[in-house]
């Protein structure tokens, strides 16, 4: 997956934090311990999720758990709010709801 360091919020923990391995859409992505899922995704793939209502990509808005723009899916179907959830080793995240056409 292409790294997009120049998009999204600054990645403040990158220099000192240990790497955390996650997958996004079944592809390996490197995150950093202590960072939010939103920061990891914006830094690594440039967005957080695909909209359920259009072909547009969403990247979060408020960054503080208020706007609901950053809900994404885990491989088991559960949702999580990317801006208020820290990355954990082995997370399997999906940018699209798989049960949608």
Give me the least distance between CB of 31 and ligand FES, in Å please. 17
Q: Is residue 83 involved in binding ligand FES (CB under 6 A)?
A: yes
Which of 28, 35, 47 is CA-nearest to residue 91? 28
In sign, the C-alpha dihedral spanning 101, 97, 95, 55 is: positive
Burial (CB < 10 A; 0-12, 13-18, 19+), residue 91, is buried
Q: How far apart are CA 4 and CA 40, in angstroms?
A: 11
Residue 72, φ and ψ in degrees, nearest 5: -130, 175
- Closer residue to ligand FES (CB): 19 or 88: 88
Per-residue binding string, ligand FES, 30-69, x by CB under 6 A, is ------------------------------xxxx-xxxxx
Q: What angle do CA 70, 65, 41 make, to 5 degrees?
A: 35
Least separation in angstroms between residue 59's CB and ligand FES is 8
Does residue number 10 form part of the binding site for ligand FES (CB under 6 A)?
no
Question: Closer to ligand FES at the Cβ: 16 or 54?
Answer: 54
Nearer to ligand FES, 28 or 94 (CB): 94
Residues engaged in binding ligand FES (CB under 6 A): 60-63, 65-70, 81, 83
């Amino acid at each position: 997956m292409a790294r997009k360091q120049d998009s999204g919020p600054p990645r403040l923990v990158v220099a000192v934090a240990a790497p955390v391995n996650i997958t996004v859409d079944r592809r390996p992505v490197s995150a950093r311990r202590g960072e939010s899922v939103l920061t990891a995704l914006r830094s690594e793939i440039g967005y957080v999720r695909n909209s359920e209502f259009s072909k547009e990509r969403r990247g979060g808005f408020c960054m503080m758990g208020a706007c609901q723009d950053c809900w994404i899916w885990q491989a088991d179907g559960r949702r999580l709010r990317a801006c208020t959830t820290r990355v954990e080793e082995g997370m399997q995240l999906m940018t699209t709801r798989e049960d949608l056409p």
